[in-house]
Amino acid sequence: MGNKFICMTKKDTKNGGIGSRSKRGGSMSRRRTSLEEELLHKQALAMAIQQHQLSQRFDNGSMSRRIGSTSSRRRNTGLLDPLHSTGDNTKQLPEFLESIKTKKFVLVHGEGFGAWCWYKSIALLEESGLHPVALDLAGSGIDLTDTKNITTLAEYSKPLIDYLQKLPEDDKVILVGHSSGGACISYALEQLPQKISKAVYLCATMITDGQKPFDVFDQELGSAELFSSDSKFLVYGNGKDNPPTGFMFEKQHLHGLYFNQSPTKDVALAAVSMRPFPLAPMMEKLSLSEEKHGSGRRFYIQTLDDHALSPDVQEKLVRENPPEGVFKIKGSDHCPFFSKPQSLHKILLEIAQIP
């Protein structure tokens, strides 16, 4: 029949003709889709386990150092242009390292994620001769802390603060915080500013003194419906008679909010790896001083196809709390480490090179 369209009537269906065959075909298609999805989830689970193991290895400081391919294209300018990506197969030249003083990156995930979500960025940074470390915040990734026991931002950020405190005296890092992880790097700037060379907010909650991390998302999502007593997104770790302790979007909502531009396999990885995140730290007002947090070097990366934290809200954050520099990634959803890893990588390299 070639490419001709078939006009099917109720009579066709009733008599078991084309319509009946179409139903059988549709059923087979659904079964095939279900099997493919199951296979994807199994592959993603294996990938998640592997990335958890890798993140532990990185955290223990035993990572290997690989230098980018010598066949990489040379630049003519002093800094990379993050808005003009040449594709995700472009690698950076090792001579770029000469202008990068701080080579250690600490990658801090956002709500529900874990160290596993940075696997593409880890590989790209390593291949550029840099030293990435991805951490699981409390109750995230493979950290076994029960979210109902995480009641403050200090408790939630403890793995990050512990890591920074254990650094050698003269060591500094570039902190990268995604989404609500921005609150954690703001907290770290207030606690240990001497350990942080630069703080990079990746479509993140870059808030001012006295604000709550959730205030940012409250503007975007509208908390009334999400936090009603019968909301299916809330987790009641201490029973329904007590306040909710955690929050987690369902799979179908996650795809539209977080992964509208991300590859299917990364979405599957997230589906089997994401965990409910603690609510209390997101509702805590941050106390940020001008002498500590205010003296830090902050940079913001905006994602321009973001459904979880819209470009308008991100622009408002930048206006209200101006950072040293602002970068933009076109065509990126709320998870550029999945949807635009090379563009994100180029921006991180450029920020690292800023004197």
Total of domains in the chain? 1
Q: What is the CATH number of the domain that holds 209?
A: 3.40.50.1820
Indicate whether 301 belongs to any domain: yes
Please report how the helices 264-273 and 251-258 are oriented relative to each other, as an axis angle in degrees rounded to 10: 130
Indicate whether 213 belongs to any domain: yes
Distance in angstroms (rounded) separating the CA atoms of residues 335 and 330: 12
Token pair of 215 as six digits: 């205030």
Token pair of 353 as six digits: 């090179």
* Structural domain span for residue 343: 100-353
What is the Cα Rg of the chain in Å?
A: 23
- Going by C-alpha positions, the residue among 117, 158, 167, 124 that lies closest to residue 344 is 124
Choice among 55, 85, 121, 179 that is catalytic: 179
Indicate whether 341 belongs to any domain: yes
334 noted as active-site residue: yes
Instruction: Provide the pLDDT for residue 79.
Output: 36
Indicate whether 9 belongs to any domain: no
* Distances, alpha carbon 349 to alpha carbons 26, 88, 91, 177, in Å: 48, 14, 11, 15
Q: In what order do the strands lie in the sheet with 277-278?
A: 234-235, 246-247, 277-278
Distance in angstroms (rounded) separating the CA atoms of residues 335 and 266: 10
Decide: pTM greater than 0.85: no
Choice among 262, 306, 332, 343 that is catalytic: 306
- Going by C-alpha positions, the residue among 218, 221, 254, 250 that lies closest to residue 235 is 250
Indicate whether 54 belongs to any domain: no
140 noted as active-site residue: no
186 noted as active-site residue: no
Choice among 136, 334, 339, 343 that is catalytic: 334
Question: If the chain, 355 residues long, is cut into consecutive pieces of 10 residues, what is the mean pLDDT of each piece?
Answer: 36 40 50 54 54 44 28 32 39 67 96 97 96 97 95 97 96 97 97 97 94 78 52 83 86 89 96 94 94 96 96 94 97 98 97 95
